[in-house]
Each structure stands twice: as C-alpha cells, then as structure tokens.
Amino acid sequence: MSGVFYREPGNDYARIERGEGVYLYDSDGRQYLDGSGGAAVCSVGHGHPAVVDAIKQQVDRCAFAHTLFFTNEPQEQLAEILCSRFGEADARVYFLSGGSEANETAIKLARQYWVAKGQSERTLFISRQQSYHGNTLGALSLSGNPGRRALFGPLLQNWPKISPCYAYRHQAVDETPEDYGLRAATKLQLAIDQHGAGNIAAFVAETVVGATLGVVPPAGAYLRHIRDICDRNDILLILDEVMAGSGRCGTHFAFEQDGIRPDIVTVAKGLAGGYQPLGATIARGYIHKEIVAAHGAFAHGHTYVGHATACAAGVAVADVVDDEGLLANAMAMGELLRRELRSALGSNPWLGDIRGRGLFVGIELVTDRENKTPPPGSLGLPTKLRKKAMQSGLICYPGGGSADGTNGAHIMLAPPLIYTSQHVDELVTRLASVLTDIDAL
Ligand code: PLP
C-alpha cells in the first residue's frame, strides 16, 4: 500500500533505478530507450557527468539562499547566456521552477506592463485552440486543451481562442503552406477586431505545438504574419517554448527559424534537462524598463525564484549543448529520424502524418489515410500505446484529441539531443514494432 497520490492511481508503476545516456533502467533491471525525454525534458541525456558535477559543487557551496536577500552566481551566469541567445543584451530573465509558473509569470508581466503604461483596460489574452500552456489556473486559462480544462472550466478565465495553425488538417488542397499560414494568421486579426485591440494584453502561442497536437510547426510565414499583426495592433507576442525551446528544434529558440523575436518567451523542461526543476520567462528590455519606471518592481515572486542549484544545472546543460554541438546534432538526427520513420511506417495503414522540427517529431495516426479519419477518443489509444511501448522497452509520448480536441491520436518523440544514428535506428525499429497490429490493442 503506497501513500503516493499517483497520476494514474490504478497503474502498476515500474520503479526507476538509474539513467545512463539515452537509457533508463527500472528496479527489475529492465532497460528502456528514452525516445521522448519523458515529455521533451531530458535534453542532454541521463547521468551527464558535467551536469551532475555542477549540481554537486553548487550544493556544497550553498544549495539555496532566498533571492529576496541574495543573488547567486548561477542565476547571473544563466541570465547572461539566455539574454545572449535571445539576442538582446537588455532583456531580463525571471527564473522559476517549471513551465506553468513561467507562463503565469508571462501573463502577469504582460498585465503589469500595460498597467505601467496607463492602459489598465487590457485584460484579455488571446491564445489558440488545441494548445497547452500549463496546469495552474492562469496557464490553463490560456490552454485550449478541452480534456485538461473539462473539470475546471468554471474556475478559468474565459479568454478568446483562435484556431491553431495545423496544416495536416486545416490546409486546403489548393493552398500552399504560405497561403495557409497567412490565412491561419488572419484569425488573430479577426479576434482582435472582435474584442478590441485596446482590451488585449497579448497573443500567446507555442512556437511548435507540442503534446496537444503532436508536434506541429507553423506553416509558411505564419509567425511572421502573427508578429506583424501584434505590432500593427500594439499587443504583445508571448511565445511558449517550454517544450520547443532550449535546443529541442535545432536552434536555441525555435522562433529563430521563423525570423522573428517575441516580446516575451517562456522556457523550461530542456533548460535544465530534468536535472533540476527549472523554468524561465524572458522579457524584452522595454518591458522591464517600463515596469521598473512605473512601479519600481514586478509584483510577483515564489520561494524558489532564481534557485541557485537549479540555475547551476541550467548553466551546465547550456554548456553541454554548446560544447557537444547538440544544436547541429538535433537538426541532423531529427532529419534522419523523420526519414527513417517514413520508410519504416510508410506502409502502416494507421500512419497519417510525420512532422516536426529538429529532434522534435510527431506522428499522427488515422483509421483511414484517404479521409484522415481520426481514431475515436473513446478507443483510449494513447494510453494503450504508451503501455505497449513500455513493455517493449521504449519510452515515447502518445497523446489524443489531435483532430478536434476529443478525437485523434499521435505520438510525440523528443529524444535526448545526444542521440546518434544507431539510437535513431533503435528507436524506429522499436516504435515500428509497437505500431504493428494496432487493431489488436
Ligand atoms: N507549456 C507547454 C508547451 C508545455 O508542453 C507544458 C508542459 O507539458 C507546460 C507549458 C507546463 O509546464 P510544466 O508541466 O513544467 O508546468
């Protein structure tokens, strides 16, 4: 009898024993290939000695000192690294313990910015359907994820949602990705017109939609159009790169590949690679300046803001990403993974789409390829696939509701960025075997 309040109380959980590189081992000695970094977390693999060592050294010096009283060297270093990667020396980084906190912080930062500018009527945040920004009430209010919102709807803010940019399902047959990207972005202008630009604080989107849609990058110049619309209407653009950032897509930030920069970006997961709980909200310099000029300080804070040991892990992970050339590796291994998946799954009748950016890959499953018919949500396919994969020694991240929030199924792959071509082969072989005979599940 366990005292743990489990995620799935009926589940018989394997007990993790150790992790090494791209493999995990449970207490029965079973080996698992990590094909999803949990949920896009383990960027530099398991047991990396440089990260382990950096954490030990920081704990020996001082594990924690409250940031009301002290700053600490790791948060100063990590802020410098992130500002430089973000491309703005004047930017400011607020360190948190995870993605939901980072998005809550982004919401409050945007709100305080507008109040500081004397525009306190701006209370709305526009986001997208089939998105996920976290489980705390503000972040869940942003999230267009019907399953995760269902029980809590009455507690949430009823903020406007526009449709996602989701080429596989919404791009018309006679449209190019460019045409479709423009059409999808126009939905933002329509929502702004409907609610009034002066009432809107920000538009919030995942640069590459992660677990809710199964890794969907923007089509054509979608994000450039979104950036233009935000600028023209004077509303902030907040990009959520909790999954897609920190090198996952082959660049430090995923938005670099779209030729834009947001006003605020949130990162977590791969930032400290799972070695410590760490998130960050990065704001352009003018946001910080406006708030400090009007109010002196940002009206926010948690106990573990700027946690020294978590930031030490973040610095070590950032160094590993640079020293081991993991951005280029993510690009190369991501290409290879998509190519090998296409060839291994090409004749599988359940294969709908393979997509992604860098080492962030989605596979959408359908019951009928021609009509892109989504598997009904009632089938419970994602849970069945996750369990079958684990039995086959593979950690991958299936999800549901891709088609319309209820129906549909996909698998998210987000392996450690240290993958070699042998690991890619092994992942594809194991996954192809999991995906044979889906009808029998
Ligand atoms: N944003 C995105 C895009 C996510 O994928 C997640 C978690 O999966 C979150 C925010 C919330 O992050 P956390 O679970 O660390 O609170």
CA separation for the pair 395, 389 (Å, rounded):
6
**How many residues does this entry show for the chain?**
441
Atom from ligand 1 closest to the CA of residue 100:
16
- pLDDT surpasses 90 at 296: yes
For 3, left (φ over 0), alpha (ψ -120 to 50), or beta?
Answer: alpha
- Residue 159 pLDDT: 98
Which residue has its alpha carbon closest to ligand 1 atom 7?
134
Average pLDDT, the chain: 97
Ligand 1: centre distance to CA 132 (Å): 7
- Residue 362 pLDDT: 98
Query: Which of 243, 255, 265, 304 is the best mutation target for the ligand 1 pocket, counting ligand atoms within 8 Å of the beta carbon and taking the most?
Result: 243
What backbone torsions phi and psi does residue 200 show, to the nearest 5 degrees? -105, 130
- Residue 437 pLDDT: 85
- Residue 440 pLDDT: 86
For 325, left (φ over 0), alpha (ψ -120 to 50), or beta?
Answer: left
- pLDDT surpasses 90 at 25: yes
Spell out the long-range contacts of 230-234 with Cβ–Cβ below 8 A and sequence spacing 24 or more.
230/188, 230/203, 230/263, 233/189, 233/192, 233/197, 233/200, 234/197
- pLDDT surpasses 90 at 166: yes
Average pLDDT over residues 164-173: 98
Ligand 1: centre distance to CA 267 (Å): 9
- Residue 14 pLDDT: 97
Average pLDDT over residues 174-200: 98
Ligand 1: centre distance to CA 51 (Å): 22
- Residue 382 pLDDT: 97
What is the tens place of the pLDDT at every residue in 299-353? 999 999 999 999 999 999 999 999 999 999 999 999 999 999 999 999 999 999 9
Pocket (CB within 6 angstroms of ligand 1):
39, 98-100, 103, 132-134, 206, 210-211, 240, 242-243, 268
- pLDDT classification of 1: cutoffs 50, 70, 90: confident
Q: Are 311 and 80 in contact (CB under 8 A)?
A: no
- Residue 387 pLDDT: 96
- pLDDT classification of 439: cutoffs 50, 70, 90: confident
Atom from ligand 1 closest to the CA of residue 206:
3
What is the tens place of the pLDDT at every residue in 112-150? 999 999 999 999 999 999 999 999 999 999 999 888 999
Q: Are 411 and 385 in contact (CB under 8 A)?
A: yes
For 391, left (φ over 0), alpha (ψ -120 to 50), or beta?
Answer: alpha
* pLDDT > 70: percent of the chain: 100
Atom from ligand 1 closest to the CA of residue 99:
12
Which residue has its alpha carbon closest to ligand 1 atom 10?
133
Claim: this prediction has a pTM higher than 0.85: yes
Ligand 1: centre distance to CA 231 (Å): 26
Ligand 1: centre distance to CA 261 (Å): 20
What is the tens place of the pLDDT at every residue in 231-287? 999 999 999 999 999 999 999 999 999 999 999 999 999 999 999 999 999 999 999
- Residue 441 pLDDT: 87
